[in-house]
Chains A and B, each alone.
Chain A
Amino acid sequence: MSAYVTMPQLSDTMTDGTVVKWVKKEGEKVRQGEVIAEVETDKATMEMEAFDSGILAVAVAKEGEKVLVGHPIAVLATGKETVEEARAWHQKQGGATTPAVTAPPVAVPVAAPVAADDSKTEMEENAAGEVEKEQPHSVAVMESPRSAAGSSPASAPPTKDNGDRPQRVSPLARRMAQDKGIDLNRIQGSGPNGRIIERDLAQTSSSAPAAASQAAVSQIAPGKKEIIPLSKMRLTIAKRLVLSKQSIPHFYETIDVDVEDLSALRSQMNKRLAKESIKVSIGDFVARAVVLALAEHPALNATFDGSQITRMGDVNLGMAVAIPDGLIVPVLKNANRLSIREIRQRSVDLADRARAQRLKQDEMTGATFTVSNLGAYGIREFSAIVNPPEVAILAVGAAEKRPTVYNDAVVARTMMTLTLSADHRVVDGATAAEFLRTLKSLLHEPGMLVA
Chain B
Amino acid sequence: MQFREALRSAMTEEMERDDRVFLMGEEVAQYNGAYKISEGMLEKFGDKRVIDTPISEAGFAGLGVGAAMTGLRPIIEFMSWSFSLVCMDQIVNNAANVRYMSGGQFKVPIVFRGGNGIAHQLAATHSHRMESVFARIPGLIVVAPSTPAEAKGLLKSSIRCDDPVIFLESEKMLAETGSVPDEAEYLLPLGVAKVEREGSDVTIVSYGRPLQRVVRTAVEALAADHGIDAELIDARTLRPLDTETILASIRKTHRCVIVDEDWGYCGMGSGILYKLQKPAFDDLDAPIEYVHSDEIPVPFSHPLEEAMLPSVDRIVSAVREVCYR
CB–CB B254/A172 < 8 A: yes
CB-CB under 8 A from A199, the residues of chain B are 324
CB–CB A171/B282 < 8 A: yes
CB-CB under 8 A from B285, the residues of chain A are 170-173, 197-198
CB–CB A172/B324 < 8 A: no
CB–CB A197/B286 < 8 A: yes
CB–CB B281/A171 < 8 A: yes
Instruction: Report B287 CB to chain A, min CB distance, Å.
Output: 9
CB-CB under 8 A from A175, the residues of chain B are 282-283
CB-CB under 8 A from A197, the residues of chain B are 285-286, 324
The digit string for A156-198, where 1 denotes a CB below 8 A from any CB of B, is 0000000000000011111100000000000000110000011
CB–CB A171/B324 < 8 A: no
CB contacts between A and B, total, < 8 Å: 26
The digit string for A181-219, where 1 denotes a CB below 8 A from any CB of B, is 000000000110000011100000000000000000000
CA of A191 to CA of B324, assembled, Å: 7
Q: Is B276 an interface residue, CB under 8 A from the partner?
A: no
CB–CB B254/A198 < 8 A: yes
The digit string for B87-125, where 1 denotes a CB below 8 A from any CB of A, is 000000000000000000000000000000000000000
CB–CB A190/B324 < 8 A: yes
Q: Is B284 an interface residue, CB under 8 A from the partner?
A: yes
Instruction: Report A163 CB to chain B, min CB distance, Å.
Output: 23
CA of A169 to CA of B254, assembled, Å: 14
Chain B minimum-CB-distance residue to A190: B324
Chain B minimum-CB-distance residue to A201: B285
CA of A199 to CA of B282, assembled, Å: 15
The digit string for B296-325, where 1 denotes a CB below 8 A from any CB of A, is 000000000000000000000000000010
CB-CB under 8 A from B324, the residues of chain A are 190-191, 197, 199
CA of A196 to CA of B281, assembled, Å: 15
CB-CB under 8 A from A174, the residues of chain B are 282
The digit string for B268-302, where 1 denotes a CB below 8 A from any CB of A, is 00000000000001111110000000000000000
Instruction: Report B195 CB to chain A, min CB distance, Å.
Output: 21
CB-CB under 8 A from B281, the residues of chain A are 171
CB-CB under 8 A from B254, the residues of chain A are 172, 198
Which of A170, A175, A191 has most B Cβ within 10 Å?
Answer: A170
CB-CB under 8 A from A172, the residues of chain B are 254, 282-285
CB-CB under 8 A from A173, the residues of chain B are 285
Q: Which bucket holds chain A's interface residue count?
A: 10 to 19
CB-CB under 8 A from B283, the residues of chain A are 171-172, 175
Instruction: Report A224 CB to chain B, min CB distance, Å.
Output: 16
Instruction: Report B249 CB to chain A, min CB distance, Å.
Output: 14
CA of A171 to CA of B277, assembled, Å: 11
Instruction: Report B243 CB to chain A, min CB distance, Å.
Output: 17
Chain B minimum-CB-distance residue to A199: B324
Which of B285, B286, B324 has most A Cβ within 10 Å?
Answer: B285
CA of A92 to CA of B281, assembled, Å: 34
User: Could you tell me which residues of chain B, from 180 to 238, have a CB within 8 Å of some CB in chain A?
Assistant: none
CB-CB under 8 A from B284, the residues of chain A are 170-172
The digit string for B22-53, where 1 denotes a CB below 8 A from any CB of A, is 00000000000000000000000000000000
CA of A173 to CA of B281, assembled, Å: 11
Instruction: Report B20 CB to chain A, min CB distance, Å.
Output: 51
CB-CB under 8 A from B286, the residues of chain A are 170, 191, 197
CA of A197 to CA of B321, assembled, Å: 13
Instruction: Report B131 CB to chain A, min CB distance, Å.
Output: 29
CA of A174 to CA of B286, assembled, Å: 12
CA of A170 to CA of B285, assembled, Å: 5
Instruction: Report A268 CB to chain B, min CB distance, Å.
Output: 46
Chain A minimum-CB-distance residue to B283: A172
CA of A172 to CA of B256, assembled, Å: 13
CB-CB under 8 A from A171, the residues of chain B are 281-285
Chain A minimum-CB-distance residue to B281: A171
Instruction: Report B166 CB to chain A, min CB distance, Å.
Output: 34
CA of A171 to CA of B251, assembled, Å: 12
Instruction: Report B27 CB to chain A, min CB distance, Å.
Output: 52
User: Could you tell me which residues of chain B, from 247 to 265, have a CB within 8 Å of some CB in chain A?
Assistant: 254
CA of A172 to CA of B285, assembled, Å: 5
CA of A190 to CA of B254, assembled, Å: 17
CA of A56 to CA of B247, assembled, Å: 56
CA of A170 to CA of B324, assembled, Å: 12
Instruction: Report B279 CB to chain A, min CB distance, Å.
Output: 12
Chain B minimum-CB-distance residue to A198: B285
CA of A172 to CA of B283, assembled, Å: 5
CA of A173 to CA of B282, assembled, Å: 8
Instruction: Report B228 CB to chain A, min CB distance, Å.
Output: 14
Instruction: Report B82 CB to chain A, min CB distance, Å.
Output: 39
CA of A172 to CA of B254, assembled, Å: 7
CA of A199 to CA of B254, assembled, Å: 12
User: Could you tell me which residues of chain A, from 327 to 360, have a CB within 8 Å of some CB in chain B?
Assistant: none
Instruction: Report A223 CB to chain B, min CB distance, Å.
Output: 20
Instruction: Report B85 CB to chain A, min CB distance, Å.
Output: 40
CA of A66 to CA of B324, assembled, Å: 36
CA of A190 to CA of B286, assembled, Å: 12
Chain A minimum-CB-distance residue to B251: A172
Instruction: Report B289 CB to chain A, min CB distance, Å.
Output: 13
Chain B minimum-CB-distance residue to A172: B285
CB-CB under 8 A from A191, the residues of chain B are 286, 324
Chain A minimum-CB-distance residue to B287: A170
Chain B minimum-CB-distance residue to A191: B324
The digit string for A295-312, where 1 denotes a CB below 8 A from any CB of B, is 000000000000000000
Chain B minimum-CB-distance residue to A170: B285
CA of A198 to CA of B284, assembled, Å: 9
CA of A171 to CA of B282, assembled, Å: 5
Q: Which 3 A-B pairs have the closest CB atoms?
A: A172-B285, A198-B285, A170-B285
15 A–B contact pairs at CB < 8 A?
Answer: A171-B282, A171-B283, A171-B284, A172-B254, A172-B283, A172-B284, A172-B285, A175-B282, A175-B283, A191-B286, A197-B286, A197-B324, A198-B254, A198-B285, A199-B324
Residues of B that sit less than 8 Å from A by CB:
254, 281-286, 324
Other contacts beyond A190-B324, A198-B254, A199-B324: 20, CB < 8 A: A170-B284, A170-B285, A170-B286, A171-B281, A171-B282, A171-B283, A171-B284, A171-B285, A172-B254, A172-B282, A172-B283, A172-B284, A172-B285, A174-B282, A175-B282, A191-B286, A191-B324, A197-B286, A197-B324, A198-B285
